[in-house]
Amino acid sequence: NPTIGQIELFTNAGSYNYNSLQLELRRRFADGLYFQANYTLSKNLTNTIGTSQGLFEPFLQNQDPDLDNQRADFDQTHTFNFNGIYQLPFGKGRMFLNQGGIVDKIFGGFELSGLVQYGTGAPITFTDTRGTLNRAARSGRQTANSNLTNEEIRALSGVFEQNGNIYFINPSVLLQTQNPTTGRFSSTASSGFGSTPFEGQVFFNPNPGQTGNVARTLINGPKNFNVNAALLKNINFTESTRLQLRFEAFNLLNTVNFFNNTQFANINALNFGQITSAGAARQLQFAVRFEF
């Protein structure tokens, strides 16, 4: 039918392949101590991400679904969690200073608790979305070209600071331009299709009728590490009433946890490679609670 511009085939064509190693260590509460730790090493490969509500995700090219095979957007290589509670062994009924009265009021009833979390960042894809192989509506995940191997590109990732900006990729491979009014620097990975490459350029726009040679979801975004902790002091008055003093710290080590600005790093964007936001700094809080 020569009047049809396009035909969509709606079918259950997506596939997932998830593999993981899962470890857990747990100590049930005894002698004032409890803790639990778990670790997961995983990889989730798919050609249909499935996180949108559209129910329809077109392949870059229907004849070759493998072009869309990649790690899922929510794939996380390493995940570690720990939580624990420790009642200090001082005061009435404890190993040390096992006395009631004023001794127990001063030295007894202390409790430490904490939470540790670590995870690698969400995967990032280097894209050129111009629709050179098919059309722009299908090319949101189309990758760019590069003269480097995938391993060499991975070696460029990390956290870098230059010209007042933070980057998830080495800024030496970017073209940086300073705004004469604001003094801020913009960055791009490509000077445009058909233009003369700049010094250090490693990402290039695919030619018409082609798609990029860079693998999808090639690198991980910034990792996350967080420690929360609390120190509690319980002062018992009767069997059913007590005063609790709480000191709590969120992000105890004041770790800078950068956020992924995007999982689709368009090499033609003017903020390519930049990280512009991070998690909260350390927060401390005190609380008093009377329980009855």
Q: What is the pLDDT of residue 194?
A: 83
Q: Within the chain, which residues score under 70 in pLDDT? A: none
Look up the pTM and report it. Answer: 0.85
DSSP letters for 131-171: -SSS-GGG-TT-B-EESS-HHHHHTTEEEEEETTEEEEE-G
Q: What is the pLDDT of residue 14?
A: 83
Number of Cβ within a 10 Å radius of residue 210: 12
Sheet containing 165-169: give its strands across: 157-162, 165-169, 274-275
**CA distances to 36, 133, 168, 169, 255 from 157, in Å:** 33, 27, 6, 4, 19
**CA distances to 84, 126, 153, 172, 192 from 268, in Å:** 47, 10, 17, 16, 7
Q: What is the pLDDT of residue 20?
A: 97
b/e string for 88-101 if b means 16 or more Cβ within 10 A? bbbbbebeeeeeee
pLDDT digits (tens, 9 = 90+) for 63-113: 888 899 999 999 999 999 999 999 999 988 888 888 888 888 888 889 999
- Name the token pair of 178: 């300073």
